[in-house]
Amino acid sequence: MNTRILKAVFPIAGLGSRFLPATKASAKEMLPVVDKPLIQYAVEEAYEAGIRHMVFVTGRTKRSVEDHFDTAYELENELEQAGKTELLKIARGISPDDMVCSYVRQPRALGLGHAVLCAEHLVGQEPFAVLLADDLMVGQPSITAQMVQQFATLQASILAVQDVPLDQTNRYGIVSGTTLDAQLTQLSGIVEKPAPADAPSTLAVAGRYILMPRIFEELKTTPKGAGGEIQLTDAIAQLLSKEKVFAYRYHGTRYDCGSKLGFLQATVDLGEHHPQVGAEFSSWLAQRQS
Ligand code: G1P
């Protein structure tokens, strides 16, 4: 079995109903934070971690994601002829030559676990990363790169986690386990979106996972769980009775871009750091607040 992480799965079939009306006919993963679509942030994060094979689990209304990572001949020709080399570099840089993209459809909205299972034939029998593009993660190195680094020694499934306020446990997968050090916990349990009163801890799963291929076998026998969907969390709960699973407290910031508030926060923070408009935007913000 491969002991390195070479593939990343991006489940993007979700309807994005939390973001209506914007997502009625468009992919929520294509919503831009400043000037880059959410999915591109996630793909760049995986690429930075050394991953070159991107597997997208798509659905209807997501064609623009495929187009985004394809060559745009007309656009490139026009930019080339107009001598707009900087813009040409941006357009070409979206899909570096050594990056491979595969697409598979999730034909029915049966949940995150089902989406990951749809990628089985493209991933095969090797460990892989899962990135939920809704969670825009900013870290140095990237959160996925931090996890790949952990994987090099742990050789086991790893979930990115963060502490959340007790009244928010019902929005996340919540883990429990044995604290190994400041960063790592060995899991003894995981439960999807528990009410605060039932939550085993306040350690919540952010949308980054490294999973061992055995997860596919577990997903095949995972019954429908929270929300009537096949939950990745439930398959991980099954997995940890058979092999070790770790939670990793990442270094960095997570923006919940599946919510309007998180999306606005990401826009302001990333806007302030944008190389082109950051300085001007920051001074505009400061002026506005005074
Ligand atoms: C999913 C997972 C959940 C995880 C969360 C992170 O939930 O099911 O366990 O904590 O992503 O963003 P969703 O936000 O898709 O409802």
Residue nearest atom 10 in ligand 1 by C-alpha distance: 172
First to last CA, the chain: 59
- Is 239 domain-assigned? yes
Backbone angles phi, psi at 142, to 5 degrees: -60, 160
- Strand-pairing partners, residue 102, are 55
Concatenating the DSSP letter of every residue in 155-221 gives -SEEEEEEE--GGGGGGSEEEEEEE-SSSEEEEEEEEES--GGG-S-SEEEEEEEEE-THHHHHHHT
- Is 164 domain-assigned? yes
Q: Quick check: CB of 204 below 6 Å from ligand 1?
A: yes
Domain that holds residue 16: 7-256
Are residues 252 and 268 located together in one domain of the fold?
A: no
pLDDT of residue 274: 95
Query: From the CA of 187, how far away is ligand 1's center (Å)?
Result: 17
Tokens representing 225 are 């769980």
State the Cα–Cα distance between residues 214 and 231, nearest whole angstrom.
Answer: 15
Please state the atom number of ligand 1 nearest to the C-alpha of residue 172: 10
Are residues 26 and 158 located together in one domain of the fold?
A: yes
- Is 221 domain-assigned? yes
Are residues 117 and 222 located together in one domain of the fold?
A: yes
Are residues 132 and 273 located together in one domain of the fold?
A: no
Point out the least confidently predicted range of 10-24, 136-150, 189-203: 10-24
As a whole number, mean pLDDT of residues 186-198 equals 97
**CATH number for 118:** 3.90.550.10
Query: From the CA of 288, how far away is ligand 1's center (Å)?
Result: 35
Query: From the CA of 135, how far away is ligand 1's center (Å)?
Result: 9
Are residues 68 and 182 located together in one domain of the fold?
A: yes
State the Cα–Cα distance between residues 232 and 223, nearest whole angstrom.
Answer: 11
Are residues 266 and 179 located together in one domain of the fold?
A: no
- Is 236 domain-assigned? yes
Are residues 173 and 281 located together in one domain of the fold?
A: no
- Is 1 domain-assigned? no
- Is 226 domain-assigned? yes
Q: Quick check: CB of 225 below 6 Å from ligand 1?
A: no
pLDDT in tens, 213-272: 999 999 999 999 888 899 999 999 999 999 999 999 999 999 999 999 999 999 999 999
Are residues 150 and 206 located together in one domain of the fold?
A: yes
- Is 279 domain-assigned? yes
State the Cα–Cα distance between residues 94 and 158, nearest whole angstrom.
Answer: 28
Are residues 207 and 75 located together in one domain of the fold?
A: yes
State the Cα–Cα distance between residues 132 and 209, nearest whole angstrom.
Answer: 9
Q: Does pLDDT of 2 surpass 70?
A: no
Confidence of residue 1 (pLDDT cuts 50, 70, 90): low
Instruction: Say if CB 189 and CB 237 are below 8 A apart.
Output: yes
Are residues 183 and 43 located together in one domain of the fold?
A: yes
Are residues 147 and 172 located together in one domain of the fold?
A: yes
Residue nearest atom 11 in ligand 1 by C-alpha distance: 207
Q: Quick check: CB of 16 below 6 Å from ligand 1?
A: no
Are residues 216 and 276 located together in one domain of the fold?
A: no
Please state the atom number of ligand 1 nearest to the C-alpha of residue 173: 9
- Is 278 domain-assigned? yes
pLDDT in tens, 70-104: 888 888 889 888 888 888 888 888 989 999 999 99
Point out the least confidently predicted range of 26-35, 72-81, 128-137, 208-217: 72-81
Q: Look at the chain and report how many structural domains it folds into.
A: 2
Rounded to the nearest integer, the mean pLDDT of the chain is 94
